[in-house]
């Protein structure tokens, strides 16, 4: 699956390099909170984001490789299965992020080209809302795979209460996954309905905060129940 992640990342880089040849020399590079263009820059600056995506792919590759090696080195079947599971979740996360960032880059290039050729003073495509919409999708994807992780130091709902043992990890991550997916769905709906990226951003942060708080409360309850069960 790492190959898929790198293919997507390289397609984004190659596609941007090709499209960049058809862009005007100067394109919008930044917008204020109201959507007004507040900075123009060289079309060659558009290559920066694909390079960032490649850097993320390298990061995920290193992290995935760590768990793959861990799965091969250990003689404990349970630990090996956990490492393989974590590597798979990380690979899916990397693929999802590369794909969503590539879509985001496509919208950004289209908006920049359209604004440049029409001498616009405001953004043609609300990149902020598009970004929040795509972040909502990432939240749904990550939540869906959180339940498949084993106790580890890299992915999942990792706090002392949830990492107490396998039972607290499983229950806490299952609940947190549902909370994050719910926040993701609400983020997608909000981004599609509101008129400004600022409203979508604040809504997303509110959903994430609420999901985090209820997950912490539930994880503490699971932990205290586990402690009580051990003492009885």
Which range, 4-13, 90-99, 223-232, has the best average confidence (pLDDT)?
4-13
Residue 83: per-residue pLDDT: 79
Residue 113 sits in the same domain as residue 137: no
Section 109-131 average pLDDT: 87
Q: 220 is in which domain, residue-wise?
A: 126-232
Q: Percentage of the chain surpassing pLDDT 90?
A: 52
Q: What is the pLDDT of residues 129-157, one digit of tens each?
A: 888 999 999 899 888 887 777 777 667 88
Residue 112 sits in the same domain as residue 138: no
Triad 223, 226, 231: Cα angle to 5°? 130
Residue 17 sits in the same domain as residue 118: yes
Average pLDDT in the chain: 89
Q: What is the pLDDT of residues 161-205, one digit of tens each?
A: 998 898 999 999 999 999 999 999 999 999 999 988 889 999 999
Residue 106 sits in the same domain as residue 186: no
Residue 76: per-residue pLDDT: 76
Residue 111 sits in the same domain as residue 138: no
Residue 104 sits in the same domain as residue 178: no
Residue 128: per-residue pLDDT: 85
Q: How many domains does the chain have?
A: 2
Last residue of a domain, one of 124, 151, 178: 124
Q: What is the pLDDT of residues 57-85, one digit of tens each?
A: 999 999 889 888 888 887 777 778 777 87
Burial degree of 231 (CB within 10 A; 0-12, 13-18, 19+): exposed
Residue 155: per-residue pLDDT: 74
């Amino acid at each position: 699956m790492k190959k898929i992640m790198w293919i997507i990342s390289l397609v984004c880089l190659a596609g941007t390099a090709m499209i960049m040849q058809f862009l005007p020399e100067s394109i919008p590079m930044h917008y204020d909170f109201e959507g007004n263009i507040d900075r123009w820059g060289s079309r060659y600056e558009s290559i920066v984001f694909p390079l960032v995506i490649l850097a993320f792919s390298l990061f995920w590759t290193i992290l995935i490789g760590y768990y793959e090696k861990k799965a091969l080195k250990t003689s404990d079947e349970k630990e090996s299965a956990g490492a393989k599971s974590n590597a798979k979740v990380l690979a899916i996360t990397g693929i999802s992020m590369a794909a969503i960032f590539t879509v985001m880059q496509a919208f950004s290039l289209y908006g920049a080209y359209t604004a440049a050729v029409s001498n616009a003073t405001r953004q043609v495509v609300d990149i902020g809302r598009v970004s929040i919409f795509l972040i909502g999708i990432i939240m749904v994807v990550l939540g869906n795979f959180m339940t498949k992780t084993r106790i580890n130091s890299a992915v999942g709902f990792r706090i002392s209460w949830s990492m107490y043992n396998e039972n607290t990890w499983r229950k806490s991550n299952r609940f947190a996954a549902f909370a994050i997916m719910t926040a993701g769905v609400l983020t997608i709906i909000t981004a599609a309905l509101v008129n400004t990226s600022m409203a979508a951003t604040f809504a997303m942060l509110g959903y994430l905060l609420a999901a985090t708080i209820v997950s912490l409360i539930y994880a503490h309850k699971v932990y205290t129940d586990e402690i009580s069960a051990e003492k009885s």
